[in-house]
A and B are shown apart, each in its own frame.
Chain A
Amino acid sequence: MELAGKTAVVTGASRGIGRATAIALAQAGAAVIVNFSQNETAAEEVRKNIEAFGGRAVAVKADVADYSQCEALVQSSIDHFNRIDILVNNAGITRDNLLTRMKMEEWQEVIDTNLNGVYNCCRAVLRPLLKQKSGGRIINVASVAGICGNSGQANYAAAKGGVIAFTRTLAKEIGSRNITVNAVAPGFIETEMTDVLGEQVKAEVLSRIALGRLGQPEDVAAVILFLASSAEYVTGQVIAVDGSLSL
């Protein structure tokens, strides 16, 4: 198995893309820290799912918006599995509203989790990664909204656009230590996050997707797995996983 002996921290792994990613990495042989912020039951189900096929996983609570909790999250990988090789920054929230109606809290909460959370986790993981001197992989989950923009998501798009610029910058800073930093930019993926959108919105989006279907969490997890494993000479890249939505 290509990730045997490696360990991964996946933030926001109790549901959606994070859940599918945790399972995909575990199936490839990685021991996985299944991070959650609120839904412990769902995170424990992901852990059981992984253990059912003989994988190794631990569910760990942490709010990525809080730096000290991110440090503890990274440390949990070292405590349980003796090392850390892969960080997937997936945790994210939405507080959609047209800008004219958007409250400061809606702006701030999204920036705190979706952008500051990436800073917090990357900052916390760098020291142990550099100390191990065995390279590493960081994969950030951005969004096509961060590339193209999306009405009603000024906060989310700004955070995700920030994540993309951050990804490219960190790739340059730590490439010399064989640590790669890449991003995926999912389009419309069927998760709880997109469940709240109406059928009319879904139909309109679907009409713009050449592949003729909405995405599944597993579609994104497969690309994250690639970036975490065989993509040895790829860094600073943003891979849209959107069936053509951003074209």
Chain B
Amino acid sequence: MSIEAKVKGIIADQLEVAVGNLSLNTTFEDIDADSLDIVELVMALEEEFDLEISDREIENINTVGDIITYIKSKV
């Protein structure tokens, strides 16, 4: 499975949205994710890709595409 598909799958699972509703430009606001949702999402991503995402890095992530770009740069 591609990183993009994996990340979208995790977001869909964590935030209870359909994968079909996620595009690269989808923001967290679009899918009503609050700060705790984002923390939970980051936890799931850290486990799936075995990495640690710092608070500073999280601040720069606003869209689904940002997450995919970030994960690709790390793995």
- Chain B residues with a Cβ closer than 8 Å to the other chain, count: 5
Chain A residue with Cβ nearest B44: A131
A228 to B39, CA, bound (A): 25
Contact flags (1/0) for B30-49 with A, using CB distance below 8 Å?
Answer: 00001010011001000000
- Do most interface residues of chain A lie in helix, strand or loop, or is the interface mixed? helix
Asked if B36 and A176 make an inter-chain contact with CB atoms under 8 angstroms apart, the answer reads yes
Interchain pairs with CB closer than 8 A, number: 10
Contact flags (1/0) for A191-231 with B, using CB distance below 8 Å?
Answer: 00000000000000000000000000000000000000000
A173 to B36, CA, bound (A): 8
Chain B residue with Cβ nearest A131: B43
Asked if A127 and B43 make an inter-chain contact with CB atoms under 8 angstroms apart, the answer reads yes
Q: Is A103 an interface residue when CB atoms closer than 8 A count as contact?
A: no
A6 to B34, CA, bound (A): 29
Residues of chain A with a CB closer than 8 A to B43's CB: 127, 130-131
Residues of chain A with a CB closer than 8 A to B39's CB: 130
Chain B residue with Cβ nearest A174: B36
A174 to B36, CA, bound (A): 8
Residues of chain A with a CB closer than 8 A to B34's CB: 176
Contact flags (1/0) for B4-41 with A, using CB distance below 8 Å?
Answer: 00000000000000000000000000000010100110
Chain B residue with Cβ nearest A130: B40
Residues of chain B with a CB closer than 8 A to A173's CB: 36
Contact flags (1/0) for A42-55 with B, using CB distance below 8 Å?
Answer: 00000000000000
**7 shortest interchain CB distances as A-B pairs:** A130-B40, A127-B43, A176-B36, A130-B43, A177-B36, A174-B36, A173-B36
